[in-house]
Structure formats: C-alpha cells, structure tokens
Amino acid sequence: MQKRLAAIEEKLPDADPLTRLQLVQERMDLQRQLDAADSTVDLQELEDEFAKAAGDYSRRKGITYAAWRELGIDPAVLRRAGIRRGAG
C-alpha cells in the first residue's frame, strides 16, 4: 500500500482533473485501510464493557441467550453479563 501511495503522489501533480479526483479518492481509501490495519482493539476491554451492559439491555429489550449465541457471543461472556440459557 505504501508503494501505491507513493505512486499516487507522483502522478497527482500532472494528472488531469478527473484522474486527479480518482487518485485522491484512492489515496484516501488506502490511507483509511492503513489506519485500520495499524489500530489495535482490546478485545478484553470490549468484552468487559459488553458484560456490564448486556444483561440489563437484554432484559429491557427481551433479547434471549439464544439470540446472543446466534450472533456469536461467547457463552462465558454471556454468563459474566448474567444472561443464562433458557432465560427469556
């Protein structure tokens, strides 16, 4: 991606307006991809925050253990949230 970004920077000054527009958009897309690849996600922190909120949310909205499981939420995380099998 870095090579492509460098190539875009080289082409921009001499590009016609339409090509310049496309190059600018491609540069923005590549930069967004690079930024996303560089960011790290603390899954434990996300799970902890989910566990704090999901129990009350599930009770208020009538969301069952089975619905969370179908979305792929780990059973251990659901237990921490107080969401049990057969509830709801």
In a domain, 86, yes or no: no
Say yes or no: 55 and 34 in one domain.
Answer: no
Over the stretch 53-79, which tens digit does the pLDDT of each residue have?
999 999 999 999 999 999 999 999 999
Number of domains in the chain: 2
CB 63 within 8 Å of CB 88: yes
Q: Position of tokens 């492509």?
A: 4
pTM for the full model?
A: 0.55
Query: How many residues are recorded in the chain?
Result: 88
Q: Position of tokens 């590549």?
A: 30
Segments forming the whole domain that contains residue 15:
2-38
In a domain, 85, yes or no: no
- Whose CA is closest to 48, among 24, 26, 80? 80
Tally helices (H) and strands (E) across the chain. Answer: 5, 0
Of the pLDDT bands very low, low, confident and very high (cuts 50, 70, 90), residue 50 is very high
In a domain, 88, yes or no: no
